[in-house]
Structure 1
């Protein structure tokens, strides 16, 4: 009892002393108090900060306003359940923004923030990198002379639990956000609200998505039409996924070979006659072999004639940079993990998954799996400090919420993934809608030839193939990290936006 009483007395004395010290302490300035209030762990559901800037694109000065902020996600009863962070760039010397194209940009994962295309591809700021996309110091961003801001306004959107976006209602059902179709449904509602708030209903509208973001925007194209009555002019698929279009077994195995050939060419391990050719002269030959010989051979499985098997293995080895013996040991179907480990095994190097220009070193040269993804480590090295500094300091968005380059969105519900069919339906119902695919030849996660297959099978009837376009680049999953491809890919986007924006009073009709 005495010890408890002593403790209580000590606490009282300490409290009084603290109170006296506080009375003597100088008052906190109003500016600092406001800053402290803004810097809180709980994301504000609806708050924005804006700044102005200018960038020179194609030799012309483009003034702009950038807004970094949050906009709520509501449930069916109008209760705020989450909030999404976005960064919105508007060109300010435009007289009628209702006629100006608007690009809505999403990345993938699922669980990845919008940072990648925001500060490395289409926005007015771009990472400080070397010409091939490797990190350099000091970290940060610089003006992007290739940005598409000259032809379109852009909003970069972070889905729930990516970037600064968060679930705000602790009782909210996670399944409402974290699944193929749930993701599409709440994002369509969010986009509709954003367009209404910003007065952009009459603007030609474009969706761009990267990696899993291509599934997201393909589904959104139909959901926006059917649930929000919003019709698009274009959808851009950067390093697309399968979009729910099945390609199991022999088809899946065969489609990898052109990527293997591109990687082997870049790493200079092809036979001398192929190595002497340009990449774009090698790939058509490999693609023709893949569809005309390799795929039929794989389809026969274990009943393929032994002599034919040896012939196919020799050609696969010729195009992949692997040995015929290794190809035969894997029944002609070498898997990507094996390829990344095997290709440069004798050199003691591995190649990157998302971009096979990047090299890694493993603890041992044996085995069938790499220790780490060399390219992703490199990217996180440069992206993480740059986006945090840019948003928090340069744009003045004050928060202590962690910026999630990759957030917790699992378990993700992949059931009923029909986004490719959704995109086809959206195109069929909207004669204005065009689609462009952009792929890097050195991407081993979403290979360029798999992307071509997606394009071929998106519309089996072939009636809309004149509204589908493919562009390939000499880099990987994030083709824009290589400075030459940053320029070319943005030019392709600029051309696509202009070509998919119809002339005034041109009707949408068949």
Structure 2
């Protein structure tokens, strides 16, 4: 998931001597560089996935990254699920979440891992424990081995000795470390010639593009068969809601339309038809109006205001006061103000009750606090108690990894705004076997589907190798049972089609 504002605060690290260091939770990690021993745990299970029964081994282990002088600098934890008997020609898929600062708990315990947490499917709060942790027949383990990666500062991953987290916290720094883990894992496990897929969610899609650049941008390539983008954010300028930036109003409008329809504030035969109408209005009359600024004629303004009210479910009076430019956070609060409810950012199907109904923005995101307890309990129970991974560290589901260095290497206009989409375009042009699957929820304001469409339809992307799939949920579409099954089927078919 992506939480740029949430994760603005920096994490304080205890910088003790290399021989004796202490984690934030008080664990004595005794990290002398000569003696550091990677932590690991492993257990074998059986299960049925995609209709296929198989035996598999789950291994949680620290991948130790070292400096040029051989000093251990960071331990990045991977959780691998490998079908038995092992087959070096079998595909392997590397997966991570986003944030930056998010552990892989969401994709692992929600979508693709062999076990999952069963929280409500219908956009209701997950409540209190115990949370059901159940077998996940939708896991894609039948078609690919799985390796979940928790970058430094997420999950159980951490720096070693006097290494600072800032050495790994940045678009390029993070991508280099994740690429190093992938190279190490395939070398240690004899998988250099296996078909390989990369998958990320939210900022994990940003990470995917940057990691692709690190893996395929040189001559000692790790070639990929495919990249799975779930809830995509590549071009950060496409969704920026800052004064004078108009594109964000265009790319979020179809998501507003879907949300208004879902909550009964608009009428249409189907969400697919309504968002397509909204797309055409947004990229046509609305974009033309916005680009004219204060030079737009009164008649054009009135016509745009009427259509904008139809798509958003907001009154023309409110739209006029907002100068026909409604920020996402105002929309969350205003759409259901008459019902005393706000709608979610990650998933606008969710509704919440604020302290009062008078504010301009919600107190919190009901689509996040409605799921976080179940996922935190599930990952800790599964890794510690089921697999047997022993550590005193806290599992960081969402943590502070800052200051984050948003600069990237190379490309055009890198000082203007972050856009990693060209990394993917270049990789596709130079690797004719690489394809992209894009999975987007209609009700996702964190990474709107129209912004993803904008980023991946620019010059330089072979459109015949990009597949689009849409879901009747939000950012984490796999929370909804029907969409978890659809996502599983879509990814399974994508991998099989290599």
Query: Which interval holds the TM-score relative to the shorter structure?
Result: 0.7 to 0.9
Q: Which has the higher helix share?
A: 1
Give the drift of 1:133: 5.5
Query: What displacement does 1:149 show?
Result: 0.4
* Distance across 2 between alignment mates of 1:350 and 1:101: 43
What is the TM-score of this pair, normalised by structure 2? 0.88
Counterparts of 2:28 and 2:71, CA distance in 1? 21
Separation in structure 2 between the aligned mates of residue 294 and residue 196 of structure 1, nearest angstrom: 52
1:446 maps to 447
CA contact (8 A) 2:256 2:312 kept: yes
Asked whether 1:91 is paired with 2:83, we answer: yes
SS at match of 1:300: helix
- Residue aligning to 1:69: 61
Residue equivalent to 2:204: 213
In structure 2, list runs of 5 or more residues that go unmatched.
1-25, 409-417
Show the counterpart of 1:485.
Answer: 483
SS at 2:79's partner residue? strand
Which has more radius of gyration?
A: 1
Using the TM superposition, give the Cα deviation of residue 243 of structure 1 relative to its aligned residue in structure 2, in angstroms: 3.7
Does the C-alpha gap of structure 1 residues 106 and 264 become closer, same or farther in structure 2, counting only changes over 3 Å?
Answer: same
Corresponding residue for residue 298 of structure 1 = 290
Q: Structure 1 CA distance, aligned partners of 2:232 and 2:445? A: 12
Q: Does 1:346 align with 2:338?
A: yes
Q: Distance in 1 between matches of 2:72 and 2:123?
A: 40
- 1:64 partner SS: strand
Quick check: 2:234–2:419 contact (8 Å CA) kept in 1?
no
Residue aligning to 1:222: 213
2:257 is equivalent to residue 252 of structure 1: no
Decide which of 121, 130, 139 is 1:131's aligned counterpart: 121
Q: Which whole-Å CA distance do the structure 2 matches of 1:381 and 1:461 have between them?
A: 42
Q: How does 1:497-508 map to 2 (within 5 A)?
A: 497-499=495-497, 501=498
RMSD value over aligned CA atoms? 1.7
CA contact (8 A) 2:442 2:473 kept: yes
Deviation string 1:288-329 (CA, Å, 9 cap, x unpaired) is 111121111111111111111011011011011111111111
CA distance in structure 2 between the partners assigned to 1:295 and 1:85 by the alignment:
45
Select the residue among 145, 150, 158 that pairs with 1:166: 158
1:3 equivalent in structure 2: none
> Is residue 260 of structure 2 the alignment partner of residue 264 of structure 1?
yes
Q: CA deviation at 1:132?
A: 2.5
Deviates more, 1:413-422 or 1:146-155: 413-422
| C-alpha separation in 1, matches of 2:466 and 2:280 | 21
Taking the aligned partners of 2:56 and 2:424, their CA distance within structure 1 comes to 32
For the structure 1 residues 284 and 493, does the alpha-carbon distance in structure 2 shift closer, same or farther, using more than 3 Å as the test? same
How far apart are the structure 1 equivalents of 2:73 and 2:486? 41
Matches of 2:388 and 2:252, distance apart in 1: 45
Say yes or no: does 1:178 pair with 2:169: yes
For the pair 1:119 / 2:109, whether they are aligned, the reply is yes
Q: Which residue is equivalent to 1:156?
A: 148
Distance change in 2, residues 1:153/1:185 (3 Å): same
In the other structure, the counterpart of 2:398 is: 406
* Residues in 2 aligned to 1:251 and 1:145: alpha-carbon distance in whole angstroms: 41
In 2, are the aligned partners of 1:82 and 1:166 still within 8 Å (CA)?
A: yes
Cα 1:291–1:45 shift into 2, 3 Å? farther
Q: Name 1:30's counterpart in structure 2.
A: none
Matched position secondary structure for 2:102: coil
Secondary structure of the residue aligned to 2:232 is coil
Question: Which residue pairs with 1:376 in the alignment?
Answer: 368
> Structure 2 residue aligned with 1:196, among 187, 190, 201?
187
**Following the alignment from structure 2 to structure 1, what is the Cα–Cα distance between the partners of residues 145 and 164?**
34
SS at 2:371 equivalent: helix
Match of 2:434 in 1: 433
Whole-Å Cα distance in 2 between the matches of residues 140 and 250 of structure 1?
44
Structure 2: how far apart are the matches of 1:178 and 1:295? 36
Q: Distance in 2 between matches of 1:66 and 1:247?
A: 38
* 1:242/1:451 contact within 8 Å kept: yes
- Structure 1 spans left out of the alignment, 5+ residues: 1-38, 502-510
- The 5 A counterparts of 1:288-367 are 288-367=280-359
Aligned pair count?
Answer: 452
